[in-house]
Amino acid sequence: MKIESDASSAGGGHDGHDGHPAKYDRIGVGYREIRRPDPRLASLIAGGLGDARTVVNVGAGAGSYEPQDREVTAVDPSRVMLDQHPGTRKVKAGAEQLPFPDGAFDAAMAVMTVHHWPDAARGLAELRRVSRRQAVFTWDPEHSTELWLFEEYLPEAGARDRSAFTPLSVVTGALDAHTVLPFPVPHDFTDGFRAAFWRRPESYLDPVVRAASSTLASLPASVVEPAIARLRADLRSGAWQRRHADLLERESVDYGYRLVLAGS
């Protein structure tokens, strides 16, 4: 069965700051090549969905972390992102006004997208309205451990993220969440979002990698390029390796990513 419709043009998205679909119409091209779902996070999210058979993925993007053994309906405001989505049930719509009746799904999922929504509280209320269970993966902007890239090279990006991401307390409160699970990022994490390359600093030198992260893609070249030049010089001199010798010995780091569970 194929469902393809256009219900709205606001909200949704994946791993960025700006709810406007034009943003992902611009930077979403080639997104799936860098943003490859990691099986460890996929397992955490699948477990969070419980026994749900029907799932709506709000801010679905290219379909990352959708369980293959469930009936999933993907919702996203960006046509570019939906065109990369491999599923057959796709709806172009925003999180704040989901075009489904009350209780239409067993579960709703949202992965690194709530901070895109112009009205996060309304979008989260919509998740609760259309499903009995909710699983939301997000980043806590109040978490104390910051990625070295933003602390040392791009403080503008760190400040932007902390002001743009929805506080974890807002997400848990709006959902009336009963569980919050941490997800420390493994050193070989395959999904190239914000902190994925914490132990692979040379990856941030690649403009293709940076373009797949809206945290970096949304900043002007006049800010990003000098910072990347400093990183390149530090890698060549060994200064980065000396400063971060402890990271090179670690398997994972808790950078504040959380899976929030609500409902039943």
Pair 1, 54: CB distance under 8 Å? no
Q: Which residues pair with 131 in a beta bridge?
A: 105
Taking the C-alpha atoms of residue 211 and residue 30, their distance in angstroms, rounded to an integer, is: 9
Residue 136: in which H helix or E strand, if any?
Answer: strand 131-139
pLDDT for 78: 87
Residues 6+ apart with CB under 8 A from 47: none
pLDDT value at residue 43:
97
Domains of the chain: 3-263 (3.40.50.150)
Q: What is the pLDDT along the chain (264 residues), one digit of tens a residue?
A: 445 555 543 334 444 333 444 444 444 445 556 678 899 999 999 999 999 999 999 999 888 899 999 999 999 998 888 888 889 999 999 999 999 999 999 999 999 999 989 999 999 999 999 999 999 999 999 999 999 999 999 999 999 999 999 999 999 999 999 999 999 999 999 998 889 999 999 999 999 889 888 788 889 999 999 999 999 999 999 999 999 999 999 999 999 999 999 999
Q: What is the largest CA-CA distance in the chain?
A: 59
Q: For residue 20, what pLDDT is reported?
A: 45
Give me the count of residues in the chain: 264
pLDDT score, position 12: 40
Measured in whole angstroms, the distance separating CA 137 from the mean position of its chain's CA atoms is 7
Best CA proximity match to 130, nearest among 179, 58, 50, 44: 58
Residue 118 CA from chain centroid, whole number: 16
Pair type for strands 54-58 and 71-76: parallel
Residue 146: how many other CB atoms lie within 10 Å: 16
Q: What is the pLDDT of residue 215?
A: 83
Q: Judge contact between 118 and 19, C-beta under 8 A.
A: yes
What would the two tokens of residue 64 be? 């990352």
